[in-house]
Amino acid sequence: MKKNFPLKDPARDDQRVLEAVKHEVRKYVKRERRKAPPEGFDLWEFGCRVGPDDATATVQPIKLVIEAIDAVAQAGATTVYVEVLASPAKWPEPEPAAGELKAPEGEAAPGQ
C-alpha cells in the first residue's frame, strides 16, 4: 500500500478522519498477514514509511506506524503518506544457549 491520505474533510471531524486512516492501515496489514507466504517462507515482514508526503516520509517499524501517523497529524499536516509493503521472510535461526556448542555443518556436536 502506497497512499496519500487527506487529514482534513469539511464534512467530518478531524479525529474521525484520522481514525479512518488508522483503520484502513490496520485492515490492510491484517489482510496481508492472512495471506499464505510463498513456499519456502514462514511469515510476512513489513517495510513501512510514514510522513507528510512521499519525499519526507521516514522508515518506521510496523509497530510504530500508528504512532507515526498520530505524530504527523499533531504536527498540523493536511495529508499523511503511508507506505506499507509486505515481503516474505523466514523465522530467524534460534541462538544456541550459553552452555551449548554449535557443531559445524556435517559434524556431530561434541559428546554425541
Tell me if 97 is assigned to some domain.
Answer: no
Contact (CB, 8 A) for 81 and 57: yes
The total number of structural domains that make up the chain = 1
Long-range pairs for 54-58: beta carbons < 8 A, 24 or more residues apart: 54/2, 54/4, 54/81, 54/83, 57/81, 57/83
Query: Is the pLDDT at 47 greater than 60, yes or no?
Result: yes
3-state DSSP assignment of residue 95 = coil
Query: Is the pLDDT at 99 greater than 80, yes or no?
Result: no
The predicted pLDDT at position 108 comes to 59
Tell me if 44 is assigned to some domain.
Answer: yes
Start-to-end CA distance of the chain, whole Å, equals 51
**What residues have CB less than 8 Å from 5, skipping those under 6 apart?**
21, 24, 79, 80, 81, 82
pTM reported for the whole predicted model: 0.80
**Percent with pLDDT over 90 in the chain:** 80
Average pLDDT over residues 72-95: 94
The predicted pLDDT at position 60 comes to 97
Q: Higher confidence at residue 94 or residue 23? A: 23
Residue 80 belongs to what domain range?
Answer: 2-89
